[in-house]
Amino acid sequence: MNSFLKLFGSASVLILCSPFLNAGVKTVMVKEPGTLAQKVGMDNRYNVKALKIKGALNADDVRFLRDMAGGDTLFKSTPGKLVDIDLSEVTFVPGTESFLNNGSKYIITGQHTIPPTFLYECPVERVVLPSKLDTISNWSFTSTNIKEFIVPDGVYVAPRAIANCDNLEDIKLTDMKGQALTPSQYGFPKVRSAVYGDVDYVAGGSFVDLMDVEEIVFEGMIGHMDGYCVTNCPKLKRIIFKGPIASTGGAQFVKDCPELEEVRFDGLIFSTGFGEPVNCPKLKGYTQNGVVLYGDSTVFRIGTFEDVVNDSKMKAHAEKMLDYKIRTLNDPFDSFLEMIEVSNFEETEELAKALGNDVMLEKIAQTVKPIKADMEKSKLQLLKESPAYKSDDSQYEWKYAVPSDSILALDRKYFNLDSIAGNGDDISRIKNLMYWVHDAVRHDGNSYNPDSKSLIDLYEICRKENRGVNCRMMAIMLTEALLAEGIPARYLTCQPKLWKYDTDCHVICMAWSKSLGKWVWVDPTFAAFVTDEDGVMLHPGEVRERLISGGKLFLNPDANWNHESPQTQENYLDNYMAKNLYYITAITENRPRPEGTNSKKSTYVLLSPEGSKNTPSANIVTTDYDKFWAAPDGYSE
């Protein structure tokens, strides 16, 4: 289902007292859940334009209400004309019955919760929300014609509860964790006024090319606001920040707003990169009523911790900001927000000291100091300090597609893989296929991933667009080529301990060598494999063990990047791969098209040192070394 939605809510007294859009309001009392259809009348359901409901609604009632409002249970249109709905005296009856019949199960989850997809794609124009309301669920009012969305304080709005509201003019949101629901990114092109409570993140491009917006107001706290946030809003007159701001991007904040007269900062700003407004002729600089601790002194008056402590409002803002920083460090909406707070640790520590907030100071230090200490260590040292693995009771099964698979058979014929692999022993065949993928496509770490990730499709798109692919795509290609030649293989995502702060990872392959009775490391990106002192190829687990113990490792001398940059053992193993062997992930179903369009759902298994916290995401996290590196069925090590 479309992950974006439209939503209008109005539960404030002013909205409740406003007149209905349509004359002839029909009022029904649903004393017994499931009787809305009986109260309205089946013959009359497509004639009602304005409806006030009193009572408790169950799944049957929601289904009927959608029908009246122009949407059936398959998200198709009906002749319903209901555009004005007053739910101020409505509650819901939780249950397990879905009110849709499209294969998805959407149910009523709470007495005071607007259920998900409630009026999804129903062209209603006005909805008065229940006076007792705690939650507005995802997709509650998607693709409606609602013009106003006013959320009362204390109501939780799901992250995807509102979007694509082409007629929405006024939006006011309560405090929300996560990203702000902003006009340009969530589809409110006609918005005139946008008002927000607390929000963790305001993305760049949130207010761009909005022809009607006149004011943008942030009444609460902002965790982080990107630069390049407001651009080309010809009617915009004011941007007001009433609460504290933990950090901003920069340097451009607002540009090409000819009627903009005021950008006012009333609260504490911990750190900002914002520069001067660009091409806003009526704006004579920013109005700063609060304290800015870190920023451009040519744009802002830079204050001190003493200024914060001596001002009751700024001090309250600082305490609230410290609460946000602790939450972000322990339970971040996104890892990049956590990274910002780790980077600002020393300055945050000084603020906590100035406030005499020892409890907060201790919480911040407990979270951040170990991370900062790890950042100062070498990648090899971090790997050497990793805890040992330990057997566990995790349950999963490795599977490998056989050469008779129709796609693998096509691969062999299309590329003549039998000839490429050659007639030598299994080690020479594995190496030949690795070198072939390395030469067949160029590595480009910044390229987008094609939708179809089969060997043929990846190869052809590189030829057609004269482009490269990243290491993940190259590893997927080699895995499929190996499988096509009857060699069990997996591609492995290798990540660092500090994966949240260092998002660069590497993806390699391992192939099963029957002659050696074990897996061997093959990396098509760098045409690289690793051997011991006797020239015997090693698998990734063995390489990791030797890096930790200081054992001897040898990189093949012809390892290279795109035939341009030779790889050295020090750079490739001691630095790059030592960093990227802390966590290792593989899929259990090794087959063509493991990801992307036309792929089946895969199970991801992550091998982690014992006791690790905040590991990369995976379906299964295991510390069992032997089970993770198990031989394919039918083979023995």
In a domain, 559, yes or no: yes
Domain boundary among 310, 343, 376: 376
Judgement on whether residues 227 and 142 belong to the same structural domain of the protein: no
Q: Residue 7 is part of a domain; what is its CATH number?
A: 3.80.10.10
What is the pLDDT, as a whole number, of residue 637? Answer: 45
| Percent of the chain topping pLDDT 90 | 78
In a domain, 322, yes or no: yes
Domain boundary among 123, 151, 168: 168
* Per-residue pLDDT band at 264 (split at 50, 70, 90): very high
The span from the CA of 240 to the CA of 221, in Å, is 12
Q: Of all helices (H) and strands (E), which one includes residue 465?
A: helix 455-465
Judgement on whether residues 158 and 48 belong to the same structural domain of the protein: yes
Domain count across the chain? 3
341-370 pLDDT, tens digit per residue, is 888 888 998 999 999 988 877 877 887 888
Judgement on whether residues 371 and 429 belong to the same structural domain of the protein: no
Judgement on whether residues 367 and 434 belong to the same structural domain of the protein: no
Q: Of all helices (H) and strands (E), which one includes residue 91?
A: strand 84-92
In this prediction, residues 563-581 reach a mean pLDDT of 94
In a domain, 398, yes or no: yes
Judgement on whether residues 405 and 480 belong to the same structural domain of the protein: yes
Judgement on whether residues 206 and 146 belong to the same structural domain of the protein: no
In a domain, 191, yes or no: no
SS (H, E, C) 184-221: HHHCCCCCCEEEECCEEEECCCCEECCCCCCEEEECCC
Return mean pLDDT, the chain: 91
What is the pLDDT, as a whole number, of residue 309? Answer: 96
In a domain, 511, yes or no: yes
393-415 pLDDT, tens digit per residue, is 999 999 999 999 999 999 999 99
* Long-range contacts at 230-236 (CB < 8 A, ≥ 24 apart): 230/206, 230/254, 230/255, 230/257, 231/205, 231/207, 231/255, 231/256, 231/257, 232/208, 232/256, 232/257, 233/207, 233/208, 233/209, 233/257, 233/260, 234/258, 234/259, 235/211, 235/259, 236/207, 236/210, 236/260
What is the pLDDT, as a whole number, of residue 606? Answer: 97
The span from the CA of 427 to the CA of 126, in Å, is 69
Judgement on whether residues 344 and 421 belong to the same structural domain of the protein: no
Domain boundary among 321, 345, 376: 376
Give percent helix, percent strand, percent coil of the chain, each to the nearest 5: 25, 25, 50
Q: Is the pLDDT of residue 9 over 60?
A: no
In a domain, 8, yes or no: yes
- Residue 1 has what DSSP assignment? -
What is the pLDDT, as a whole number, of residue 623? Answer: 97
Judgement on whether residues 435 and 542 belong to the same structural domain of the protein: yes
Judgement on whether residues 142 and 205 belong to the same structural domain of the protein: no
Q: How far is CA 150 from CA 10, 174, 279, 408, in A?
A: 5, 9, 32, 56
In a domain, 181, yes or no: no
Q: Is the pLDDT of residue 428 over 70?
A: yes
**Residue-number span of the structural domain to which 80 is assigned:** 1-168
Judgement on whether residues 398 and 322 belong to the same structural domain of the protein: no
What is the pLDDT, as a whole number, of residue 14? Answer: 29
Judgement on whether residues 243 and 351 belong to the same structural domain of the protein: yes
Judgement on whether residues 368 and 402 belong to the same structural domain of the protein: no
In a domain, 224, yes or no: yes
